[in-house]
Amino acid sequence: MDTVLFLGFLTTTLLFVAAPGPSVAFATAQALKHGARAAVVTVAGDALGTVVHIAVAVSSLTALMALSAHVLPFLQIAGGVFILYMAYRAFFDAPGNSGDALKISGKATFWAGFFACVANPKAIVFFVALFPAFISPDHNVLLQSVVYGAVFLILDAASILGYALLTMHTVRRATSRWLSANILSGLGLFGVGAAMVVKGYRALPHN
């Protein structure tokens, strides 16, 4: 393991995860609506998306990357539509239905978190352009990839959970439980979903 490259990767990762993105916004909205458990499920989905990014970056399969450039817009649109549906549920679920909503969230939030991560252009740029740059050819490539991947997953999960739980506790202290769980959550989900749909549509090939 090259110490200089590892420290460079660690610094870059800390700066990357410190800036909130779609995964943070989505996890925060889910935490406001369903509590800490939903945020944890979102992080699990985000972690799977990150594993996909790492696998693609390490494999260095040019054909796969070219394919992903064509598939990504459709993933963004599909994920965005799904999150917009969750926003609709957040707006119109009655306060007394929180138990049923939590069951639905447990089934849907994981994959929504996955879509939010795997279709995030910022994450793709990081793993395609930056991740390979910290791999030293003089050391075991697979070992470096596993270590770097584990470090990123831990820091990213801590960042997403930190933002989501801090916001959840702050909002619940400042507002009523129903307001924070429905209106604010719905607005957050709507913003993430709409942004993903717009990005995906703009990236589609237009004749």
Q: Which residue has the higher pLDDT, 182 or 166?
A: 166
Give the mean model confidence (pLDDT) for residues 172-190.
62
Tell me the HSE value of 176 on the side-chain side, using a 13 A CA sphere: 5
124-163, pLDDT tens digit by residue?
A: 777 776 777 787 777 887 888 888 889 999 998 898 888 8
Task: Say yes or no to pLDDT of 100 above 50.
Answer: no
CB-based burial label for 3 (10 Å; 0-12, 13-18, 19+): exposed
Rounded CA-CA distance 32/13 in Å is 27
Is the residue at 143 inside a domain? Answer: yes
Share of the chain above pLDDT 70, in %: 73
Residue 127 lies in a domain: yes
More confident residue, 97 or 35: 35
* pLDDT of 151: 92
Q: How far apart are CA 76 and CA 64, in angstroms?
A: 17
The total of other beta-carbon atoms located within 10 Å of residue 136's CB is 13
Q: Which of 46-50, 114-118, 176-180 has the lowest mean pLDDT?
A: 176-180
* Mean pLDDT over the full length of the chain: 75
Q: Nearest 10 degrees: CA dihedral of 155, 45, 55, 57? A: -60
Does any domain span residue 167? yes
- The whole-angstrom separation of Cα 188 and Cα 87 is 8
Residue 189 confidence (pLDDT) above 60: yes
**Would 123 be classed as within a structural domain?**
yes
Stretch (H or E) spanning 154: helix 141-174
pLDDT of 112-132, one tens digit each? 888 878 777 777 777 776 777
Residue 152 Cα to chain centre, angstroms:
13
In this prediction, residue 96 carries a pLDDT of 46
- Within a domain: 207: no
Task: Supply the range of the domain harboring residue 78.
Answer: 3-202
Residue 11 neighbours by CB under 8 Å, 6+ apart: none
Rounded Cα–Cα distance for residues 46 and 2 (Å): 28
CA torsion sign for 62, 4, 17, 23 is positive
Task: Report how many domains make up the chain.
Answer: 1
Could you tell me if residue 179 is inside a domain?
A: yes
Evaluate if residue 17 carries a pLDDT over 60.
yes
Tell me which amino acid residue 46 is: D
pLDDT reading at 190 higher than 60: yes
Task: Please say whether the beta carbons of 26 and 87 come within 8 A.
Answer: no
